[in-house]
Amino acid sequence: MENTQSFFDDIRAYRDEEIPAVVEKIASDPLLIPAAQFVFPNLDIEQVRKLIRTCTTTDDIQRKIMYPAIGGIIHRTMRQFTTSGCENLHDDNSWLFISNHRDITLDAMLMQYALFENNLPTTDISLGDNLLRTPLIIEICKANYMIKVIRKDDVTMREFLENSKHLSEYIRLRINDAHRSVWIAQRNGRTKDGVDITEPGIIKMFGLSGGADFVESFSQLHIAPVAISYQYEPCDVFKAVELCRRQSDTPYQKAENEDFLSILTGIKQYKGDTNMTFCEPITTQELEQIAELPRAEQCKALAEVIDRRIVSAYKLYDTNYIAYDIKHGTRRFAKYYTPEAEQQFAIYLVRSNAQFEVMGVDKDAAREILLGIYANPVEGKLNLGIEL
């Protein structure tokens, strides 16, 4: 097993025997100070450092640090955080959780909190290496069951396939041999337009480590889709600005610390009500039906099954219905929101327009994209014939 583990040293998380040295690095990092002030406002920095140094295993870190930290984020930036569907998860299974992706770090963090609250094991978390630029973030992530996803843009196709197979093999190893569940987003990068779609390429990646039998290969992974929704989308203004610039004639290029800023903004921004739903896992019967299709269509078909689960389970909020009605000039869904909520969202749009102006983008175009972020989940359900 040690040789197998060593083979994955480039993407694996820290093992428990490595944690004592890691917590010392975390406790000594100067960037811990501003982070600790937000996450633990009732403790001074020395108290936080002392608490961190008491951790000797990853489970210690999750129980003593991450669980109360995420709870604090929920308390300060959400009106409520609700969960459903935990009854779909059986204790004797390890799962491949495939979720829609709205916030860089919060989606996975909230899942860990939800599992912890329901006395279920937490998961490994797949995280792109583009986010691992700051030593403090690297150490915290690797100390919390992180799996590094190599997303370098300058690799050859052969290297890309090798990296994908490497990741696929490790995910399968964690689920089948280590009996650890794994969280991964349904696509590379966050959903920026409010349209949640699973990339068939992600499904193909999972299959690279399985055998030729489609049903057996994917049954072993115990795929469980997850839907997360926010009343007020984290980093919605940033997303609208990025898409607006990408649609213009000027090529969009991320600023040096843009991802880090998005992480902080996503954590600190007010999100109102937030929901996470654990959908019914993909069944063997569904996989058998997909396996009857031509091989070239199978991954796309499985992605569509996952999409329907996520879109069906996605909880719509008043902001979604209001945005849909504004975008289409109707009152179709007025019964789902109050005049007060409508006024509050109108004020939110005015404030967003001011931010668009400061950021130097076309206010009208950016506003239309922002409305889409909230309206498109409604469109998604309607397009699939899902009753609202």
d(CA 338, CA 228): 23
* pLDDT at residue number 250: 66
pLDDT of residue 153: 66
Give pTM, 2 decimals.
0.94
Q: Is the pLDDT of residue 21 over 80?
A: yes
Closest CA to 198 of 313, 102, 307: 307
- Asked whether the beta carbons of 361 and 245 are under 8 A apart, the reply is yes
pLDDT digits (tens, 9 = 90+) for 261-320: 788 888 899 999 999 999 999 999 999 999 999 999 999 999 999 999 999 999 999 999
The 10s digit of each residue's pLDDT in 309-365 is 999 999 999 999 999 999 999 999 999 999 999 999 999 999 999 999 999 999 999
CA 370 to chain centre: 20
Nearest Cα residue to 117 out of 229, 269, 278: 278
Q: Is the pLDDT of residue 74 over 80?
A: yes
Task: Name which of 237, 236, 240, 266 is nearest 78 in CA terms.
Answer: 266
Q: What is the pLDDT of residues 215-237, one digit of tens each?
A: 999 999 999 999 999 999 999 99
Kindly report, as residue ranges, where domains of CATH 3.40.1130.10 are found in the chain. 2-234+269-315
Distance in angstroms (rounded) separating the CA atoms of residues 240 and 218: 36
Residue 99 backbone zone (phi > 0: left; psi -120 to 50: alpha; other: beta): beta
Mean pLDDT, to the nearest integer, of 14-19?
Answer: 97
Hey, what CATH topology would domain 2-234+269-315 get?
Glycerol-3-phosphate (1)-acyltransferase (3.40.1130)
Report which DSSP code applies to 64: I
